[in-house]
Amino acid sequence: MKLQPVRGTKDYLGTEAEVQEYVISMAQQIASCYNYQQLTLPIFEFSDVFHRTLGETSDIVSKETYTFLDRDNTSITLRPEFTAGVVRSIISNGLTQSLPLKFFSSGPIFRYERPQKGRYRQFQQINCEFFGSKEHNSDVEVIALAHQILSWLGLSEFIRLEINSLGDPESRKSYRDKVFEYFSKFENELSEDSKVRLHKNPLRILDSKDPADIKLKAGAPKMLDSFNQGSQDYFSAVLKGLDELGIKYVVNNNIVRGLDYYTHTVFEFITDELGSQGTVLGGGRYDGLVELMGGPSIPAIGFAAGVERLAEMIIAKDLFKKRNLIFALIPIGEKAEVEALKLSKLLRDKGFKVELDYERNTSKRFKRADKINAKAAIIFGDDELNQGVYKIKELASGEETTTHKAEIIEAVRELLLKS
Ligand code: HAM
């Protein structure tokens, strides 16, 4: 018997496991602010759910799925992503008439990839999907959600957003023809994988990390030049919306994504901190997928992020302690104890997380606040109460401020938004 985990899988103990849970629960809380519902799906589906949708030439389908025959000879596949499963679910639950729909899911994903740092055969994703809007502002909102999750995890400064558009199917086809024509001239110089891609899905060559392909890619035709007016306008409107929200991005025309279902907007959040596996989050619009899977024509957009990659960064940058959404109340004295009960109710009624320890010992209360990684302690004794104020101490930085009682909700909200 081999007493070690299977290649590409890992046991996560202690901090690593805790940070992964933290990433998932943070993402879920933020998604619920955008009104995403929780959706829990089976870990395996009939193989067609993935094989007929993600693209026969995508690496995932051609060589990475865990597919096996069940005892009754039906072909089953362990999910290599959420999106196709979510679409299957809204069709099989008859939800396609109840638009818009927004779903958050999380859990294990399986891909038979060559394992290396940041790339595993079993890993976890957090996944958001938004069905039923063809308005550019829905793209902006989905990207803003992804951005907020990463920024609340404290990762903003280590990550950049790269964005591209694949245009509508007509623009994409015209671009595909140009790319085919271009790479055909260099067929013998392409990597072995790209020789196959050239005839099945030439756009995937643009996504290649092979040095031979990278050199040839430099002279390839630019996607945006093949766009019809509608596709150009759509992309410009998405970028304008991001500008309006102050979300920074870089347009990168080589982003085509590894799955075939995308149209229009595609995006990735990338870091230089994780070596070659630097994409922590990826997504895009997939307006044709619901119909392809037998449902009505429903526009959709979404993204997924790799939980292990995010957790690795949070641990490497020592960010786990710095971000938590709990406020610890630290009353000092009899009057303050009563005030603390009232304040905890006020804050909890507004949806904030509050810890009020009934141990009447200030230093123990501070220790407890540290232990639970509270974002800040709200401190008040007789002096503060007489002046009508609270002291707020941010636990990561030690910074202290004073806030008028009437402004506490605003002050707490501002602290949460600070990345
Ligand atoms: P994806 O780009 O294939 O997109 O995966 C999303 C994220 O999962 C990646 O950015 C990466 O962080 C993580 N990931 C992928 N493969 C591995 C691996 N082998 N080990 C560790 N982490 C990995 C999708 O899955 C699409 N379904 C996203 C989407 C949702 N598009 C629209 N809606």
pLDDT reported for residue 120: 96
pLDDT reported for residue 57: 62
Q: What percent of the chain has pLDDT over 70?
A: 96
pLDDT reported for residue 322: 52
Ligand 1 in reach of 86 Cβ (< 6 A)? no
State the closest ligand 1 atom to the C-alpha of 119, by its place in the atom list counted from 1: 20
Highest mean pLDDT range out of 153-162, 189-198, 315-324? 153-162
More confident call, 214 vs 311: 311
More confident call, 172 vs 236: 236
Asked whether residue 414 carries a pLDDT value surpassing 60, the answer given is yes
365-383 pLDDT, tens digit per residue, is 999 999 888 989 999 999 9
| Cβ atoms 58, 204 nearer than 8 A | yes
pLDDT reported for residue 282: 97
Question: Ligand 1 centre and the CA of 83: distance in Å?
Answer: 10
Question: Ligand 1 centre and the CA of 16: distance in Å?
Answer: 20
pLDDT reported for residue 52: 78
- With bands split at pLDDT 50, 70 and 90, how would you rate the model's confidence at 56? low
Question: Ligand 1 centre and the CA of 362: distance in Å?
Answer: 46
pLDDT reported for residue 145: 97
**Distance (Å, rounded) from C-alpha 296 to C-alpha 293?**
9
pLDDT reported for residue 197: 85
275-314 pLDDT, tens digit per residue, is 878 999 999 999 999 999 999 999 999 999 999 999 999 9
State the closest ligand 1 atom to the C-alpha of 127, by its place in the atom list counted from 1: 30
- 3-class secondary structure per residue, 333-398: CHHHHHHHHHHHHHHHHCCCEEEECCCCCHHHHHHHHHHCCCCEEEEECHHHHHHCEEEEEECCCC
What are the φ and ψ backbone dihedral angles of 328, each rounded to 5 degrees? -100, 125
Asked whether residue 346 carries a pLDDT value surpassing 60, the answer given is yes
Name the residue at shortest CA distance from atom 29 of ligand 1: 303
Name the residue at shortest CA distance from atom 16 of ligand 1: 119
Asked whether residue 222 carries a pLDDT value surpassing 60, the answer given is yes
pLDDT reported for residue 389: 97
More confident call, 346 vs 259: 346
More confident call, 102 vs 223: 102
- With bands split at pLDDT 50, 70 and 90, how would you rate the model's confidence at 253? confident
pLDDT reported for residue 109: 98
Beta-sheet pairing, 400-404 with 159-165? unpaired
**Distance (Å, rounded) from C-alpha 139 to C-alpha 152?**
20
State the closest ligand 1 atom to the C-alpha of 125, by its place in the atom list counted from 1: 8
Ligand 1 in reach of 356 Cβ (< 6 A)? no
Beta bridge mates, 269: 161, 281
pLDDT reported for residue 321: 60
pTM above 0.85, yes or no: no
Ligand 1 in reach of 269 Cβ (< 6 A)? no
**Low-confidence winner among 7-11, 189-193, 207-211 (lowest mean pLDDT):** 207-211
- With bands split at pLDDT 50, 70 and 90, how would you rate the model's confidence at 62? low
pLDDT reported for residue 381: 96
State the closest ligand 1 atom to the C-alpha of 84, by its place in the atom list counted from 1: 27
Question: Mean pLDDT for the chain?
Answer: 91
**Distance (Å, rounded) from C-alpha 145 to C-alpha 35?**
11
Question: Ligand 1 centre and the CA of 319: distance in Å?
Answer: 23
**Distance (Å, rounded) from C-alpha 123 to C-alpha 186?**
37
- Ligand 1 pocket test, pick from 59, 61, 103, 125 with the greatest ligand atom count within 8 Å of Cβ, gives 125
Question: Ligand 1 centre and the CA of 366: distance in Å?
Answer: 40
Question: Ligand 1 centre and the CA of 304: distance in Å?
Answer: 6
Asked whether residue 405 carries a pLDDT value surpassing 90, the answer given is yes
